[in-house]
Chain A
Amino acid sequence: MNLVVAPFAISLAAAALTLLLTEKSGLQKALSFLMSLLTFVASMALVAFVYQNGTQTLNVGSWPAPYGITLVADPFSAIMVGITGLITLAASLYTFGGMKLEGDFKFFPPLFHFMMAGVFGSFLTGDLFNLFVCFELLLLASFVLMVMGKEKAQLEGGLKYILINLVSSAFFLSALGLLYGKVGALNMAEIALRLQNSPDPQVVMITGTLFLISFSIKAALFPFNFWLPSSYHHCHPLISGIFAGLLTKVGIYALMRIFPLILIHELAYFKGLLLVIAGLTMVTGVLSAATEYNTRRILSFHIISQLGYIALGVAIFTPFSIAATIFYFIHHIITKTNLFFSAGLLHLIFGHDKIKLMGGLYKRSLPISIIFALSAFSLAGMPPLSGFFGKFFILKAAYLDGQWVLMFTGIAVGALTLFSMIKIWNQAFWKALPEGEKEPEIKVGVGPMLSATLLAISIVLIGIFAGPLFDFAIKAGDQIVDPAAYIQAVLGVVL
């Protein structure tokens, strides 16, 4: 099925083409948008196709499955690809009026598409080594995007980000090498099959722990989360929005893939570990945000606490909790990106991120207020927005599994999230502008407004259509917990 490779291939083509047009910024922007639209259509087509026909695979170059490169789009991958397509479109829309493609930023479109190719590749690949390669592709592009503009604070944040990610990649590669040495396969379905037949506890413990550390660093789980809030808020608002939505989620995605593959064979140990990590991630993230007064730094800390919920869903590892996690992915990626885009709107208006020096926006611009309020309340988990259902399903999964402490932690963290969001709301929107601050002009481009509106509408729609979406998520979750269907689709082996 060739559609499986389409989002990845289109992104690569877009990167190559926009690289040729770095001197013609108008044309480059238009082409970048067109290619993003194409990516969006292709990824939505993939979602629709997988929804109707189940898991699709593509053996690149017709090499048979456990030996060649296999691309797999199971329902979970398809969902992730679909949201990534939406974010690609929204981000390209944002550049019209939100980013001037000059100086360093001439190279934003090609790098952006390279990064998206890496993200799509990570979601679609069927073997672990290609997961590593796609990770590196998206990381390398993100390194450059992170320091684009070359301001002092950015360089520092960028260095921290790069150095910690290099360590994480080394862990990943070591785990990969050891696993291949012992199991003799890199195809995920083949590994699952071989480990199911003879789970060697030594291999499982060592490679499992190495993978867990590597993906925890990438996903900013406690105690590896300190790089995130010291790097994400320094780059361009658009870039930090894309990072906030997608990059940490790729880490968690990989963790979810590795769980039924390897970690499941020492379930008691890894589940206990992940539950503790999840709880601490939620709490430390939200508490650190409480003392901050910089919009994007507050939001960065909230990425961490939200990742705690996702990790909680992964750790419980029942079909229901995995479905809840997948639903949380859908909600979280869109909401978080939109919050960063709204912070970008504030940045466009005030020229900085310090909420103490902002004010009076509610009176001046109702649309921006509504966009921010929708995303903020969705993040905090207010019904009927997407965040309510996301949190509800996760906490229900925790309840069904008897994780009382974590369930109440989740509720408390939700309340504290609301406190943080209200803090931004009070400072930037409700309070009068502080004395001595110049009344800002409300002049944001069409692009940022449109893309933020697009995502805000998605948040409401996800809340309204939570039922059908969750049904699809359940289908995807079943396949993660019981990989028999996945193995059959890739290898043609009936278990």
Chain B
Amino acid sequence: MELFWSLVIGVLFAAAIYNILRRSLTKNLFGFLLLSHAVNLLIFTSGGYKRGAVPFIKGDSIDPSAITDPLPQALILTAIVIGFAVVAFVIALLQVFYASRKTDDVDDFTREEVA
């Protein structure tokens, strides 16, 4: 199970990096969406996969080693919310950028003047 998801994470990272390195800003944005999914899955996987028991513990009724650590899932939830806010802002910014420049190609960025 872990091996399969590790491979999926690897593929997601590869796709994300490929998209981030492209010239179109919109595709960069897709790259970032994939990147955040890859990272979230990475945290999820590093928490370990265990099936069966739920992590509600009453006294000593459940052996803690039998359940999945719920903390990584809480971390992912926070990361998803933050990622959502950032992506929403970037989309808005890209829209303003496109309205003023009529391009989303990074090659059309102006060079910094030296003088």
B114–A181 CB distance below 8 A: no
Q: Is A291 an interface residue (CB 8 A)?
A: yes
- Knowing A166-B35, A170-B35, A181-B46 are in contact, say whether A156-B110 is a contact too (CB < 8 A): yes
CA–CA, A153 to B110, complex, Å?
8
A159–B39 CB distance below 8 A: no
- Knowing A155-B100, A177-B39 are in contact, say whether A129-B75 is a contact too (CB < 8 A): yes
Query: Can you list, as one digit per residue, whether each of A148-163 has a CB less than 8 Å from chain B (1) or not (0)?
Result: 0010110110110011
Q: Which of chain A's residues has its CB closest to B75's CB?
A: A129
Query: Can you list, as one digit per residue, whether each of A434-448 has a CB less than 8 Å from chain B (1) or not (0)?
Result: 000000000000000
Q: Is B101 an interface residue (CB 8 A)?
A: yes
CA–CA, A297 to B47, complex, Å?
45
Query: Can you list, as one digit per residue, whether each of B23-37 has a CB less than 8 Å from chain A (1) or not (0)?
Result: 001001000100110
B100–A174 CB distance below 8 A: no
Q: Is B5 an interface residue (CB 8 A)?
A: no
A161 → chain B closest CB, angstroms: 11
Interface residue tally for chain B (C-beta within 8 Å): 36
Q: Is A136 an interface residue (CB 8 A)?
A: yes
28 contacts between A and B (CB under 8 A): A129-B78, A132-B79, A140-B86, A143-B93, A155-B100, A156-B109, A158-B93, A159-B97, A162-B86, A162-B93, A163-B32, A166-B32, A166-B90, A170-B36, A173-B79, A174-B42, A174-B43, A177-B43, A177-B46, A177-B72, A178-B42, A178-B46, A180-B71, A180-B72, A181-B47, A229-B112, A293-B114, A297-B112
CA–CA, A291 to B112, complex, Å?
12
Query: Can you list, as one digit per residue, whether each of A284-314 has a CB less than 8 Å from chain B (1) or not (0)?
Result: 0000000111000100000000000000000
Residues of A within 8 A of B35 (CB): 166-167, 170
Give which listed residue, B45, B101, B115, contacts A155 with CB less than 8 A. Answer: B101
A152–B71 CB distance below 8 A: no
A274 → chain B closest CB, angstroms: 25
- Chain A interface mostly helix, strand, loop or mixed? helix
Residues of A within 8 A of B72 (CB): 177, 180-181
A136–B100 CB distance below 8 A: no
Q: Is B89 an interface residue (CB 8 A)?
A: yes
19 more A-B contacts (CB under 8 A) besides A156-B109, A184-B69? A129-B78, A133-B82, A140-B82, A140-B85, A152-B100, A152-B110, A155-B101, A159-B93, A162-B93, A163-B20, A166-B86, A167-B35, A174-B42, A176-B43, A177-B42, A177-B43, A178-B42, A293-B114, A297-B112
B43–A173 CB distance below 8 A: yes
Q: For residues 406 through 464 of chain A, which have their beta carbon under 8 Å from a beta carbon of chain B? A: none
B86–A136 CB distance below 8 A: yes
Q: Which of chain A's residues has its CB closest to B76's CB?
A: A177
Q: Is A475 an interface residue (CB 8 A)?
A: no
Residues of B within 8 A of A186 (CB): 71
Q: Is A230 an interface residue (CB 8 A)?
A: yes
Residues of B within 8 A of A136 (CB): 82, 86
Residues of A within 8 A of B97 (CB): 155-156, 159
Instruction: Name which of A173, A229, A230 has the most chain B CB atoms within 10 A of its CB.
Output: A173
Residues of B within 8 A of A354 (CB): 115
Residues of A within 8 A of B71 (CB): 180, 186
Residues of B within 8 A of A177 (CB): 39, 42-43, 46, 72, 75
